[in-house]
Amino acid sequence: MHKKTLSDTGGADTAPPAIYLKNIYKSFGAVQANKDIDLHVSAGTIHGIVGENGAGKSTLVSILYGFYTADRGKTEIFGAPVVLRSTADAIAAGIGMVHQHFMLVPNFSVLENIILGHEGSSSLQAGLEKATKELQNIADKYGLQVDLHALVQDLPVGLQQRVEILKALYRGARVLILDEPTGVLTPQETKQLFEILRSLRAQGVTILLITHKLKEIMAVTDNVSVMRGGEMVAHLETQKTSPEQLAELMVGRPVLLTVGYDSAEAGDICLQVEHLSMRDDSGKSCLQDISFSVRRGEIFGIAGVSGNGQSELLEVLAGISALDAGRVVIGTTEISADNPATPAEVKELGLAHIPEDRHAMGLILPFTAAETAMLGYEERGAVSGRSPFLSPDKITRHCAKLMTDFDIRPADPNLKSNLFSGGNQQKIVVAREISAHPDILLVGQPTRGVDIGAIEFIHKQLLALRDAGCAIILVSVELDEILNLSDRIMVMNAGQNMGILVREDADVQKIGLMMAGLENTGNIATSLASEKKGGKHE
Amino acid sequence: MADLWIQFLLTLDATLRVAIPLILCAMAGLFSERSGIIDISLEGKMLMAAFAAGTLAALTGSAIAGLVGAILVSVMFSLIHGFACITHKGNQVISGLAINILASGLTVTLGIAIFAKGGQTPMLSREARFSSIELPFAEAAGAIPFIGPIYKEIISGHNILVWCALIAVWLTGFVIFKTAFGLRLRAVGEKPEAVDTAGISVSGLRYRAVIIAGILCGIAGAYLSIAHGAGFVREMTAGKGYIALAALIFGNWRPVPALAACLMFGFLDAVAARLQGVEVPVIGQIPTDLILVLPYVLTVVLLAGFIGKATPPRAIGRPYVKER
């Protein structure tokens, strides 16, 4: 282990560190989110912070950006002691932040978004004119070109993120914090972002990169700090570490980053989707002419940037939303616009569903684990008593068995669902659906907000289920997850099927281009142009 | 023919007169709702203001005192609404409703306690009201055929608050779209997170918005009881606050379209008043009740039929809770 020692004086370095934190402590009630955090970020470097969900990364960043005030501890920015009581304090200290969910007003222009709060004059027109010149300088200096007069809602996510970076720089940021910046980007956009970060570093900007993706830490950072359970457990030089070592530090025990994949012989077709189309509530087309089929004993992965129709597709297949055109054939049963099916009917056809958003659809937080573990299956023999009554004994026993089989902790069926960690909540849902012995399993974002240990376990379960002959449709925005598990991969963009690749042909580069919709550039350009025409400018 | 023309002009004049409180309230609602705070308490604030104006004007004999009192009382109720919705993140519709109910009861109770006239305030003398301002040469211009009456009947002869309301529309547009404050105000109604992360207080902006709304409602109330009318009458707002809100929505939260919607509602009201007792060919005399109900029916029809396309501020009705 290459633990760097932190000294109070900042060591022999002549330049003061960009960020220096000493004994930062923050608790929320009984929860200690940050326990005596030390951090030393050298000026002009890219510094990564990794940790699992709930490790305290977000709290730490929020303290740095003035959202929360630390209970105690010392903060210095470029050697000057500061007290960050508000976001305004942080901005004044030269800290800028690019949030995971962009803080942009969708129907404002890029320019209006950037000057918001720093208009420089009470007349809007004067402020806009002054900012235009200044922004041109910043854009040239850092190579960040954006159309300042475009409406933010018309820009692709990658450009919106660029607006966020410009906004921070315009406000005078010398330290830029990026919180999970690649979650919504295609691999190519991620590469571009890293290029931007490197050029910012070359211009002397210090960057703090918060992520849970070890690959990204390895790719772009100079130094990395690891958090676990509210504590800083290691400070390392990126060159001298490895993803395996970082994962072990994050989890506290050795973990397998990728589960072993064996190819398997796929069986008969058990689910067919033909020319499926669907419009959302506002009448906008969200799925267009999608066709594919899935065989027994294969994992069919669906890749794409979040919000490109994957969620809608899952909901149609699960019977939650009705389709507008085309058909879905499960076994011999056809589902179409004229012949819709409810989730219960689809379930009877042997389909199970692990929903994307477990809090909204997967479980009911105030229910006990035992109740959660039988939701949707309350009429099956494993839990029901003499009709119409439930059998509390059976319900508890059923849950206790799942808890043993799936290593759910704490193994208490009477504990309320919201008291389990994200990973264990997800395991309850996974256990419930898998234990129904489905022929087809729909899986949405199975490891979102789930700790690395549980990810490994869930991946193994999915592979075992596939080997047992189940057809699995896996939707995930984590491209690595799709690549690790899938036998075939469909890529979606703007509600369309951009193509299906077999595992051997799938590589990040190719999938990334498909995710960006580059095969359909003509279509996308025209749809964007028509949107702009319709959009009103204030 | 000339007679019909005068009739038409008089209807337009009446349109403006009845539309004034709607216009002021719609602009009040525009500030409040653009900042993300639903304001159904326009009605209650206007009623309280009308009562305060009537009472103070009667007691002091000064219209200015009435106006200032009306604004203060209305702003006070705005702050109550703000305290419930902004500071305590309460439900904005319920808070607004509570204010309306409170105003409805409080005006009558206080009115009886102070004046013992069944909830009314005493009839005001000329000095205690804002009287009409006759513009120069109005009488002479009236003699000019056709065009002259436009000047005499429509442009001349309004009290100062009418001009206030029209200026308020222009001022609202200017503040909302041409100033830094307006940019922030619009942003806070669309995406308060963006404002907060820019280092600006979301609550501060929203409080300022509801205070401005209070001032405008105060003027609207004073107009009703001490400019247009000559004293406060119980429930004298008669749903005008709600109609103003409808006009605001109908105008898509923009000053000029909202003004147009207010004038349309005002026109219906004026026509309804003119049609009373008039013999219409074929149908005969239209029952008064039927005519009076017309503006309200139209509100429902318009809201049901055309509002589908209105796009409210995205964050409206949603209390801002800092996440992480």
pLDDT in tens, A185-229: 888 899 999 999 999 999 999 999 998 888 899 999 999 999 998
Residue A441 CA, distance from chain mean position:
22
Share the mean pLDDT of chain B. 90
Asked if A538's CB is within 8 angstroms of B187's CB, the reply is no
Pairing of strands A496-502, A488-493: antiparallel
The structural domains of chain B, with segments of one domain joined by +, span 2-128+137-309
Looking at domain A269-521, which of 1.10.260.40, 3.40.720.10, 3.90.550.50, 3.40.50.300 is its CATH number? 3.40.50.300
List, as one string, the DSSP characters of B95-144. Answer: HHHHHHHHHHHHHHHHHHHHH-STTPPPPPPGGGS---BPPTTHHHHHTS
Q: Kindly tell me the sign of the dihedral angle through the C-alpha atoms of A378, A384, A389, A392.
A: negative
Asked if B194's CB is within 8 angstroms of A91's CB, the reply is no
Residue B306 pLDDT level (bands cut at 50, 70, 90): low
List the single residue in B with minimal CA-CA distance to A91.
Answer: B199
The residue with tokens 């209807």 is B11
The pLDDT value recorded for residue A419 is 84
The pLDDT value recorded for residue B305 is 67
Q: Residue A273: name the closest of A253, A260, A288, A251 by CA.
A: A288
Which range is most confident: A5-9, A56-60, B89-93? B89-93
Residue A167 and residue A113: Cα distance in Å, rounded? 8
Which range, of A6-15, A269-278, A296-305, averages the lowest pLDDT?
A6-15
Asked if A122's CB is within 8 angstroms of B199's CB, the reply is no
The pLDDT value recorded for residue B1 is 61
Better-predicted residue by pLDDT, B90 or A518: B90
A171 CB neighbours in chain B (<8 A) are 198
The pLDDT value recorded for residue A537 is 40
Residue B131 pLDDT level (bands cut at 50, 70, 90): confident
Asked if B198's CB is within 8 angstroms of A90's CB, the reply is no
What confidence tens digit (pLDDT) does each residue in A431-449 have?
999 999 999 999 999 988 7
Mean pLDDT of A312-339: 93
Share the mean pLDDT of chain A. 87
Better-predicted residue by pLDDT, B152 or A373: A373
Better-predicted residue by pLDDT, A331 or B298: A331
The pLDDT value recorded for residue A465 is 94
The pLDDT value recorded for residue A307 is 85
| pLDDT(A523) > 50 | no
The residue with tokens 């703007």 is A494
Architecture of the structural domain at B2-128+137-309: Orthogonal Bundle (1.10)
Asked if A127's CB is within 8 angstroms of B177's CB, the reply is no
The pLDDT value recorded for residue B308 is 56
The pLDDT value recorded for residue B294 is 76
**Count of other CB atoms within 10 angstroms of residue B92:** 24
Which range is most confident: A271-275, A307-311, A419-423? A271-275
Which range is most confident: A1-15, A188-202, B294-308? A188-202
Better-predicted residue by pLDDT, B211 or A535: B211
Asked if B179's CB is within 8 angstroms of A123's CB, the reply is yes
Buried/exposed A111-121: b ≥16 CB within 10 Å, e otherwise: bbbbbbbbbee
| pLDDT(A536) > 60 | no
Asked if B223 and B35 count as a contact pair (C-beta separation under 8 A), the reply is: no
The residue with tokens 């207010």 is B262
Torsion of Cα atoms, A412 then A413 then A418 then A424, to 10°: 70
The closest CB to that of A103, out of B180, B186, B197, belongs to B197
Which range, of A148-162, B181-195, B307-321, averages the lowest pLDDT?
B307-321
Interface A:B, Cβ pairs < 8 A: 80
Token pair listed for A502 = 């077999």
Torsion of Cα atoms, A90 then A96 then A99 then A102, to 10°: 110
Which range, of A23-32, A222-231, B59-68, B274-283, averages the lowest pLDDT?
B274-283
Asked if B240 and B103 count as a contact pair (C-beta separation under 8 A), the reply is: no
Backbone angles phi, psi at A278, to 5 degrees: -155, 145
List, as one string, the DSSP characters of A142-163. Answer: HT----TTSBGGGS-HHHHHHH
What confidence tens digit (pLDDT) does each residue in B243-284 have?
999 899 889 999 999 999 999 889 888 888 887 777 777 777
The pLDDT value recorded for residue A245 is 92
Chain B interface test: which of A116, A151, A176 (most B C-beta within 10 Å) = A116
Q: Own/partner pairs for A283-287, CB < 8 Å, 24+ apart?
A: A285/A495, A286/A312, A286/A495, A287/A312, A287/A313, A287/A316, A287/A323, A287/A495
For residue A325, give the H/E element and its range: strand A325-330
Measure CA of the first residue to CA of the last residue in chain A; give whole Å: 57
Better-predicted residue by pLDDT, A174 or A358: A174
Backbone angles phi, psi at B118, to 5 degrees: 70, 30
E strands, A29-137, where? 31-41, 46-51, 72-77, 80-81, 95-98
| pLDDT(A11) > 80 | no
The amino acid that residue B115 corresponds to is F
What confidence tens digit (pLDDT) does each residue in A98-147 have?
998 899 999 999 999 999 999 988 899 999 999 999 999 998 888 888 99
Residue A12 pLDDT level (bands cut at 50, 70, 90): very low
Torsion of Cα atoms, B214 then B218 then B220 then B225, to 10°: 160
Residue A270 and residue A293: Cα distance in Å, rounded? 8
Backbone angles phi, psi at B67, to 5 degrees: -65, -45
Question: Is residue A332 packed enough to be buried (19+ CB in 10 Å), middle (13-18) or exposed (0-12)?
Answer: exposed
Asked if A273 and A291 count as a contact pair (C-beta separation under 8 A), the reply is: yes
Proportion of chain B above pLDDT 90, given as a percent: 66
Mean pLDDT of B142-152: 80
User: 3-state class of A344 per DSSP?
Assistant: helix
List the single residue in A with minimal CA-CA distance to B196.
Answer: A87
The pLDDT value recorded for residue A525 is 34
Asked if B197 and B11 count as a contact pair (C-beta separation under 8 A), the reply is: no
List, as one string, the DSSP characters of A263-279. Answer: -----SEEEEEEEEEEE
Q: Which residues of A touch B (CB under 8 A)?
A: 58-59, 62, 65-68, 86-92, 97, 99, 101, 103-108, 112-113, 115-119, 121-125, 127, 171, 538
The pLDDT value recorded for residue B307 is 57
What confidence tens digit (pLDDT) does each residue in B200-212 have?
999 999 999 999 9
The pLDDT value recorded for residue A532 is 39
Token pair listed for A499 = 């193509």
| pLDDT(A6) > 60 | no
Residue B147 pLDDT level (bands cut at 50, 70, 90): confident
Q: Own/partner pairs for A411-414, CB < 8 Å, 24+ apart?
A: A412/A369, A413/A368, A413/A369, A413/A370, A413/A373, A414/A368, A414/A369, A414/A370
Asked if B146 and B80 count as a contact pair (C-beta separation under 8 A), the reply is: no
Mean pLDDT of A26-31: 85
Token pair listed for A47 = 């510094």
CATH topology of domain A1-94+212-254: Rossmann fold (3.40.50)
Residue A355's contacts (CB-CB under 8 Å, 6 or more residues apart) are: A314, A318, A361, A362, A429, A444
For residue B174, give the H/E element and its range: helix B160-178
Asked if B199's CB is within 8 angstroms of A90's CB, the reply is yes
Residue A148 and residue A165: Cα distance in Å, rounded? 13
Say whether residue B187 is in contact with chain A using an 8 A CB cutoff.
yes
DSSP, res B278:
P
Residue A14 pLDDT level (bands cut at 50, 70, 90): low
What confidence tens digit (pLDDT) does each residue in A37-79 have?
999 999 999 999 998 877 888 889 999 999 889 999 999 999 9
Residue B309 pLDDT level (bands cut at 50, 70, 90): low
- For CATH 3.40.50.300, list the domain ranges present in chain A: 1-94+212-254, 269-521
ipTM, two decimals: 0.88
Question: Is residue A303 packed enough to be buried (19+ CB in 10 Å), middle (13-18) or exposed (0-12)?
Answer: buried
